[in-house]
Structures are given as C-alpha cells and as structure tokens.
A = this chain, B = another copy of it.
C-alpha cells in the first residue's frame, strides 16, 4: 500500500509524523495530544519534530485541508456527470465510504478537530465544507424537482444523511472487529435511505 501523500514534499519521516499525529489527534483530540506524545510514537525527541514541520497547528492544517479537498473534488466530479439524481446520490455515498476507508487516520478529524484550525486555514476549510454541502443539497433538490425524490425538507434530509455517513469516520475499529465490509455499509445505507426500514 502506498503511503498517503498529504503534501508535495518528499520526506518519508514527515509523512510518518503526519500519520502518527493523525492517529493521536483522532483518538485523544488535537488539544489533548502533545508534541511529546507524537515524538514518542515515532521514537525521537520532541525538538526533532521541528526539523520536519513548523508547528503543531501546521500538522492539523495539512491533514484537514488534504481530506477536505478530496471530498470536494469527488462530489464536484460526480455532480457534473450525466446520471439520474438517484445514481448521483448513490455515487456520493460510495465516494464518502471510499475516502473514509482509504484515510481512516484522518477522517475522524472531520468530526470535531477542524474547530481547532486557526486562520486562514479555518476559512479555507469552512469554504470547502460549505461547497460540499451545497453540491450535496443541490443533488437532493434537483432530485425532488425531477420527481425522483419525495419533497422532504432538503436541509434536514441533507444533514441526517451526512450525519449518518459520519458514522464511518470514527468506526474503523468497530467494523473491522465486527467483520463488516465497506460494501455491506454501502448496500445497507442505500436500502435504508432509498426504500426505508419497513417491510411493505
């Protein structure tokens, strides 16, 4: 498996630091994780970290902007494809699960840790997030207008679906221990969202 490239710099030690930091930020939270924690996870002294990065905050920014751009590019591509709105929604869900699975260390940071971003990274992240929500909402609204979807409140529906998808961010441990495959989540999610839980 190729190591994830969060930024263009070719520095495997830096990549290692970013990965370990992502794990710790996801488990304990950004504020509760010290640079000493990260250094110990790597096996070096704390000051040595600063040969590979400028600050603790830089780590958070690189990780979150990397994954936020992935999500944004993904939904933009799907939105522009010629397909029914039902198919588009299905593809967005699939993309969501794929990115969260491919980047299990970073995905949990999307839950709360983005709040710890400082400017200008905070605004850049918020902008990507807003664009993602808007495109997702547009797919729902166009699906309603086209008569494919029920005329439910688009804001609430959007947020309920996004919130359900967030389960995948932090549940990597859970569904490996329960032998759940990404395809299982995808098919269960699709059946639930499209046709509902009731039998008849």
Give me the interface of A with B, judged by CB distance under 8 Å: 27-32, 86, 89, 111-112, 115-116, 147-150, 152-153, 155-157, 159-167, 171, 174-175, 178, 180, 184-185, 188-189, 191-199
Determine the distance from Cα of A198 to Cα of B191 in the docked complex, in whole angstroms: 10
Known contacts A86-B198, A149-B199, A198-B149: A192-B157 contact under CB 8 Å: yes
Closest 6 CB pairs of A and B: A163-B167, A196-B196, A31-B31, A31-B32, A164-B164, A195-B196
A-side binding surface: helix, strand, loop or mixed?
Answer: helix
Find A159's partner among B112, B150, B167 (CB 8 Å cutoff). Answer: B167
Give the residues in chain B near A178, CB-CB below 8 Å. Answer: 155
Give the residues in chain B near A150, CB-CB below 8 Å. Answer: 191, 197-199
Give the residues in chain B near A27, CB-CB below 8 Å. Answer: 115
7 pairs across A/B with beta carbons < 8 Å?
A: A27-B115, A30-B32, A111-B112, A150-B197, A150-B199, A156-B185, A193-B197
Find A196's partner among B116, B185, B194 (CB 8 Å cutoff). Answer: B194
Instruction: Give min CB distance, A179 to chain B, whole Å.
Output: 10
Q: A149-B197, A196-B196 are known; give 11 further A-B pairs, CB within 8 A.
A: A29-B115, A31-B31, A149-B199, A152-B191, A152-B192, A153-B188, A156-B175, A156-B184, A157-B192, A160-B188, A192-B193
Determine the distance from Cα of A116 to Cα of B30 in the docked complex, in whole angstroms: 12
Give the residues in chain B near A155, CB-CB below 8 Å. Answer: 178, 180
Determine the distance from Cα of A141 to Cα of B195 in the docked complex, in whole angstroms: 18
Give the residues in chain B near A161, CB-CB below 8 Å. Answer: 164
Known contacts A112-B111, A195-B198: A188-B31 contact under CB 8 Å: no
